[in-house]
Structure 1
Amino acid sequence: MSGSLIRQRLSAIEKDLRVAITELNADWAEWSIGEIIDAMVGAELCHHPLYNRLNRLDAAQCQLDLGLYGLCADCENEIEPERLAMDPTEQRCQHCSEQYAHEHRQELRLSH
């Protein structure tokens, strides 16, 4: 997938997220993604579903700018193209994603 097509897909995701952001807090509508993420932290909205999506979008945009888009955040191998086709903000390959989910479930069990 070309860089311009990836940028188009990420821009479409950003547009959709900005609609939801405006519904959450209209003052944030014109802010950068990074500023919105910081504001959500300050407002203790880190568990809001938008927070995770914004972080993933921000990471994908940064990776694209650095020429690292499509590499797993954990093992640095290429993320499977079908995973990126389903979600262009995907940050992990299948193996690392499964491992992360397993470890995260363990953390949740230990914290209860």
Structure 2
Amino acid sequence: MRLIRDSLNATEVAHISMETPLGKVIDYLPQVKLINTDIFTKFMKLDAAYCQLELGLYGLCSDCEIDIEPPRLIADPTEQRCTDCEQKFRREHRHELRLNH
């Protein structure tokens, strides 16, 4: 949160606090040129996991809808895909993923 607050002007900082909804924080990141950062990626994954939780779909693969392996969720609670679907996704999108790094 401090990185975001440090990048905003005084008026914008007044609107961000620990109570600010995650969606609003995410909306600020492109405005302050933090869209291609690790924090943006983490917030997006957190927001997706929270949405799944609200819908009662947390822990299900977003592609095949089977249960994500518990050790995978323990390692990263924001994981969106089971191992098989993650491997398939990475194979199919490897060129796009390479361009983002």
Q: Distance in 2 between the 1:24 and 1:102 partners?
A: 33
Counting aligned pairs with the same residue, the percent is: 46
2:46: which partner in 1? 57
- 1:22 and 2:2 correspond: yes
Q: Distance in 1 between the 2:27 and 2:91 partners?
A: 28
Q: Distance in 1 between the 2:31 and 2:69 partners?
A: 35
- The structural deviation recorded for 1:43 is 2.7
- The structural deviation recorded for 1:77 is 1.4
Q: Distance in 2 between the 1:81 and 1:89 partners?
A: 12
- The structural deviation recorded for 1:72 is 0.9
Taking structure 2 as the reference length, the TM-score comes to: 0.76
State the structure with bigger RCO (CA 8 A, min sep 6), 1 or 2. 1
Evaluate the alpha carbon distance shift between residue 44 and residue 71 of structure 1 in structure 2; reply closer, same or farther with a 3 A threshold. Answer: same
Q: Distance in 2 between the 1:89 and 1:82 partners?
A: 12
- 1:99 and 2:79 correspond: no
Q: Distance in 1 between the 2:29 and 2:4 partners?
A: 10
Letter in 2 for 1:29: S
| Structure 1 unaligned residues grouped into runs of 5+ | 1-20
- The structural deviation recorded for 1:78 is 1.1
Structure that is richer in helix per residue: 1
Q: Distance in 2 between the 1:75 and 1:61 partners?
A: 19
Q: Distance in 1 between the 2:46 and 2:98 partners?
A: 29
Q: Distance in 1 between the 2:31 and 2:2 partners?
A: 17
Letter in 2 for 1:24: I
1:43-82 mapped onto 2 (5 Å cutoff): 43-82=32-71
| Structure 2 unaligned residues grouped into runs of 5+ | 7-12
Decide whether the 8 Å contact of 1:74 with 1:96 is kept in 2.
yes
